[in-house]
Amino acid sequence: MHDKDNREKIEIDLLIEAVRRYYGYDFSNYSKAHIKRRMAVFLAKHRYESISEMQHHVLHNSNVFEDFLNNFSINVTEMYRDPDFYKEFREKVIPILNTYPYLKIWIAGCATGEEVYSFAIMLQEESLLERSTIYATDFNSNALQKASRAIYSIDNIKSYTTNYQKSGGKYSFSDYYMANYNSVIIDKSLKKNIVFAEHNLVTDSVFTETNLIVCRNVLIYFDRELQDKVLSLFNSSLITGGFLALGTKETLQFSAVNSNYSAVSKENKIYKKNSI
């Protein structure tokens, strides 16, 4: 007798393939655990009886698909998340970036932008923002719109302020936003050197010749094959001597490009691309 788990696996595979063929979004190399979790959340939210019923609605209703895409997008983020990372980055990487006349920085999988503005503030404080272009990319256009609006809930500001202080921030965090009822609006001067753009790490190609690539807490949702593919993409997009920053649970250690890099910080997953 065929069990329920086997039927569910077939249904998930069919839905992922249908989305790839019809909409061009390929989730087939996302980790199986991540896919299963997101499917369960979506099923419960829409009260579908089965994944097959979900597939029908996803394929026939563009609004449902938009919601499906948002559900799959990884938007767990905050300003100055992992303050130790920013502290060490400030101490060890900023002095080297300071030697370049102009910087291209790629923040991949930028979600709703909190990390982008964290970097913009740090670069501003180190007198580097004026000679930098930050390319902030994500495959989710809704998340990108939120990022470019730069309006965040005031409820999070206390923890963001604490993170900023722990990260080695030089001034008062309140200098960088304006409070407005239940929201805060990030100072628009921080946005002038940021370019928000759609880019899909799964299907799109080399981005640009960059001095720094930041992709933190995205690879953990990919299987090993896709992690390798994305790290190879980053390797091709990064100049020799450039820096790559990953999330705390991510590593270059088992990747095909590992030998091209030396660790600036093993703990905070900051790597430098060596001369080859």
**Is residue 243 domain-shared with residue 136, that is, in the same domain?**
yes
**Is residue 60 domain-shared with residue 93, that is, in the same domain?**
no
Number of domains in the chain: 2
End of a domain among 37, 72, 107?
A: 72
**Is residue 121 domain-shared with residue 63, that is, in the same domain?**
no
Cα separation of the two ends of the chain: 56
Segment (H or E) for 116: helix 114-125
CATH number for the domain harbouring residue 221: 3.40.50.150
**Is residue 29 domain-shared with residue 102, that is, in the same domain?**
no
Q: What does the alpha-carbon distance between residue 8 and residue 51 come to, in Å, rounded to a whole number?
A: 7
Beta-carbon contacts of residue 77 (< 8 Å; ≥ 6 apart) = 111, 112, 114, 115, 217
Give the lowest-confidence range in 36-45, 123-132, 163-172. Answer: 36-45
Whether residue 184 has pLDDT greater than 60 = yes
77 in a structural domain: no
End of a domain among 51, 72, 93?
A: 72
Q: What is the pTM of this model?
A: 0.87
User: pLDDT, tens digit, for every residue of 203-225?
Assistant: 777 767 899 999 998 898 888 89
Average pLDDT over residues 149-171: 94
Helix (H, G, I), strand (E, B) or coil at 193: coil
Range of the domain at 151: 83-273
Whether residue 276 has pLDDT greater than 70 = no
* Strands 194-198 and 132-138, bridge-based pairing: parallel
**Is residue 30 domain-shared with residue 141, that is, in the same domain?**
no
**Token pair 């820096």 in the structure block, residue:** 243
